[in-house]
Amino acid sequence: MTSFIKKAYQVGRMGCSLEVHRRRNSIAMQQTGLLLILLSITASLPALSETGDTASLERGEYIYRLSGCESCHADSAGAVDGPVGGIAMETPFGIFNIPNITPDIDTGIGGWTDQQFSEAMKTGVSPNSEHYYPAFPYTSYTRMYEQDLIDLKLYLDSLPPVNKAVKDHDLSFPFNQRWLMGLWKVLFFRSGSFKPDSTHTASWNRGGYIVNGPGHCVECHTPRNRLGALIISELLAGNPDGFDGESVPGINPAMNKPFSQWSEDNIVFSLQTGMLPNGDFFSGSMGHIVENSTSRLSEPDLKAIADYLRSPAIHESISGGRFMLLFWLLSIAGLLWLAVALTRSKRRVSRDKDSHEKSS
């Protein structure tokens, strides 16, 4: 009996030991599995980040082409690749020298934060809190979506930095007084992203975003007033006094009969190849834009541009009418003040003269 009890005790103890062992193995396996999962997630994070950065870089390069950066910021001598700047842009106000936008710390934008880049593009203010001239088309870039700007900055930062200083602008007085741009902005500029119009198609809105935003077509194809502001009532009607003395044709079908005859295929093919419907080719600055920008755009985007340009509902989402009204009211008020001041001055001189004659 005693022997049986001992055997039963030994068997029970062995069973308990096996159960404990099984539990320990189970816990160890669970811990090992959890560790492997954590390791796999940790290992995948750099890959996910790299994939995200790659996608952003690709989008940034596309925005770079869409925005026409290469056409304006190219090397003036054609000796260096990239947006190193140096081109001298002649205007009725003087010469604007296009800056270096490579990520060079000293002569480019390498020291700029994403926020500083966004503020420059959307508000026309430099990291040094100076106002930019509208020869830099922030008046259009202000309509760009924030994510497009982030991707564009990421791409620009990936380019080789080039140390190349660019000359200052050579402008006539009073346009060389940069602080006056603050007043100019009060009259003619209002920042804000593009707002889609729900009454139109997605394609039309995409075309409107490109034409009025990153593509900044309105900057060249719209006439300007004597202070360099776009005349919004003549949007895309053409500009006889374009940069470098070029006469830029109208691309608003309501204001340019020849262009109203262009089909969607005509517009897309011309932007892809530079060939006009009559067999001629774009020349001058538009030739560079086709080479560096529009020929590299996707077909859906080109069709969106054509959809917008062929629409009779071409409009600007940010009206400039009240700014023009304010400008003319201030101008009239200034002239009236000057006339009153001159009249009072003449009367004072006349009174002093009469008083002198009487005393004599």
Render pLDDT for 138-166 as a digit per residue (tens, 0 to 9).
999 999 999 999 999 999 999 999 998 88
From 228, 226, 223, 227, select the one nearest 239 (Cα to Cα). Answer: 223
DSSP 294: G
Write down the pLDDT at residue 106.
Answer: 92
What pLDDT, on a 0 to 100 scale, did the predictor assign at position 345? Answer: 65
Cα four-point dihedral sign 99, 227, 195, 193:
positive
- pLDDT, one tens digit per residue, over 296-330 is 999 999 999 999 999 876 654 444 444 455 555 55
Residues spanned by the domain of 59: 48-193
Q: Quick one: 185 exposed, middle or buried, by C-beta within 10 A (0-12, 13-18, 19+)?
A: buried
Q: What is the pLDDT confidence band of residue 253, given thresholds at 50, 70 and 90?
A: confident
**103 within a domain of the structure (yes/no):** yes
Tell which wins on pLDDT, 6 or 186. 186
Residue 54 domain-assigned (yes or no): yes
pLDDT for 255 beyond 60: yes
Q: Report pTM.
A: 0.73
- Please give the Cα distance from 251 to 310 (Å, whole number): 9
- Parallel, antiparallel, or unpaired: how do β-strands 94-97 and 170-171 relate? antiparallel
- Lowest model confidence (mean pLDDT) among 51-55, 74-78, 224-228: 51-55
Residue 299 lies in a domain: no
Indicate the range of 9-18, 65-74, 219-228 predicted with least confidence. Answer: 9-18
Give the per-residue pLDDT at 286. Answer: 86
Q: For 177-191, 251-265, 330-344, which range has the lowest pLDDT when averaged over its residues? A: 330-344
Per-residue confidence at 170, pLDDT binned at 50, 70, 90? confident
pLDDT of residue 23: 55
Query: What's the rounded mean pLDDT across residues 35-64?
Result: 60
Give the count of domains, the chain: 1
What SS3 state is found at 230? strand
Amino acid 316: pLDDT: 46
CA–CA distance, 326 with 332 (Å, rounded to integer): 10
Give domain status of residue 336, yes or no: no
Q: Is residue 55 part of a domain?
A: yes
Q: Give domain status of residue 142, yes or no.
A: yes
Average pLDDT rounded to a whole number, residues 262-275 = 91
In a domain, residue 75? The reply is yes
Lowest mean pLDDT among 51-60, 67-76, 206-215, 262-271: 51-60
Q: Return all residues near 309 (Cβ < 8 A) that are at least 6 apart.
A: 207, 211, 236, 251, 252, 253, 259, 267
Between 109 and 72, residue with greater pLDDT: 109
Percent with pLDDT over 90 in the chain:
32
Decide if 216 is inside a domain: no
